[in-house]
Amino acid sequence: MTGMPTLHQQPAWFGAVMGTGAIGILISLQSQVLDQQGFDWMVIDWVAIGLLWVATALAVTLWPRYFRRLARRHELREEIADPGHGAMLATVPAGLLVLAVGWGAIGPQTLPEPIAMWIAVVFVAAGAIIAVGYSAIWATSISTREVGLARIHGGWMIPVVMPLLVPIALVPIMHYWTNLTLPLLVVGFAFLGIGTMLFLAIFSMFVIRLATQAPLPNPMTPSLWIPLAPAGVFGVAIIRLAQSAEAYGIVGPDSVWLAVAIAVMGIGFGLWWALFALLELQRARSNGGVIFHMGWWGFVFPIAAMAISITLVGQVTEFSPLFGIVASVIAVVVWILVSVKTLQSVIAELSAT
């Protein structure tokens, strides 16, 4: 793949917000699981809180980088329509929605609950509106060009992840404002439908591309991991919606177990796909390697999403927490590796200027 943007210009910077926020949410969930097992380690909660603040600070710092694009609308339209990189701009609304989930789940531990919940509302409203608008604009831009199968990659599924995050972000809000539970459940299931149908459509195209075209160029190899994100996020979303519907008295406990079964199906698919992606990554490494770029954050959020799904299923079923812990350790190690690579690249670019 030629024409890779420079580190400063790459549109996937908000992937750092997604990945860091997701790791914070994962660590917070692991803290709950350990509490249930009799381990009260406050340091884990503080780590989760710290990561939430870091992700929020990253979003605030990076926002002008994206907002300035609106002043160059012709260039922005061309960037959105670029099959190689246009979908990466979807990391912005996706990152906002991850922050909405984080502030709803972790925020009340660091700020008064009403303030944390209003922050979550702002993030979910902004994220959902931008997500719907951007996904429609991106799809229209792509559909008006002859792209060709060879230019499809896993990053095309980032717009798919966005709607799936909305139901998860709405759950703490509906629990705080219980009078809004029913309408927010309806909205949550609507966004779940949007994300699911888009995933099925775009993932099918991606599989056809992998089966009929040459292997992905090495720089695009990280995008192979992105299908883990919808598989994991969908499972978390449907479990959380089912739990909320049960708490509201709409459905019985059997619905939660059905949601768990569906989530486990997503985990099964995700684990198989992770093995496939790992083999493809090894192929790329043996054929020149994968030079670091911001697309490496495509490793972090999908693996974290799968780890969250595994941990949540273990929590709901009261199964051994070992699988969730192992998945979480892998996700944290990947986050540390990519974070270090990012810092090294930023320092190197600053030193060169």
State the pLDDT at residue 9: 66
In a domain, 45, yes or no: yes
Reading the block at residue 78, the tokens are 């061309």
Residue 2 placed within a domain: no
Residues 232, 26: Cα–Cα separation, whole Å: 12
Let me know if residue 4 belongs to a domain.
no
What is the number of domains present in the chain?
1
CB atoms within 10 A of CB 197: 12
**Inside any domain, residue 125:** yes
Q: Which residues contact 97 (CB under 8 A, 6 or more apart)?
A: 123, 124, 127, 128, 131, 162, 165, 166, 169
Asked, for residue 9, whether it belongs to a domain, the answer is: no
Give the domain range for residue 106: 15-352
From the first residue on, what is the mean pLDDT of each consecutive set of 10 residues in the chain (353 residues)? 56 92 96 82 90 96 85 84 87 96 96 97 96 91 83 89 94 94 95 94 94 91 94 96 91 91 97 96 89 91 97 92 94 97 88 75
Predicted confidence at residue 353, as pLDDT, reads: 67
- Write down the pLDDT at residue 1: 41
- Residue 1, in any domain of the structure: no
Q: Which residues contact 40 (CB under 8 A, 6 or more apart)?
A: 34
Strands (E), 1-126: none
Q: Is the pTM of this model over 0.85?
A: yes
- What residue spans of 144-227 are helical by DSSP H? 158-176, 181-212
Instruction: Report the CATH number at residue 203.
Output: 1.50.10.150
3-state SS record for 177-194 = CHHHHHHHHHHHHHHHHH
Decide if 183 is inside a domain: yes
Per the domain annotation, does 161 fall within a domain? yes
- Tokens 């780890």 identify what position? 307
Task: Give the pLDDT of residue 146.
Answer: 80
- Closest CA relative to residue 223, chosen from 168, 319, 164, 154: 154
* Dihedrals phi, psi of 152, to nearest 5 degrees: -75, 140
Please return the burial class of 46, using the count of CB atoms within 10 Å of its CB with bins 0-12, 13-18 and 19+.
Answer: middle
- Tokens coding 207: 């599989």
**Structure token digits, residue 281:** 């990554």
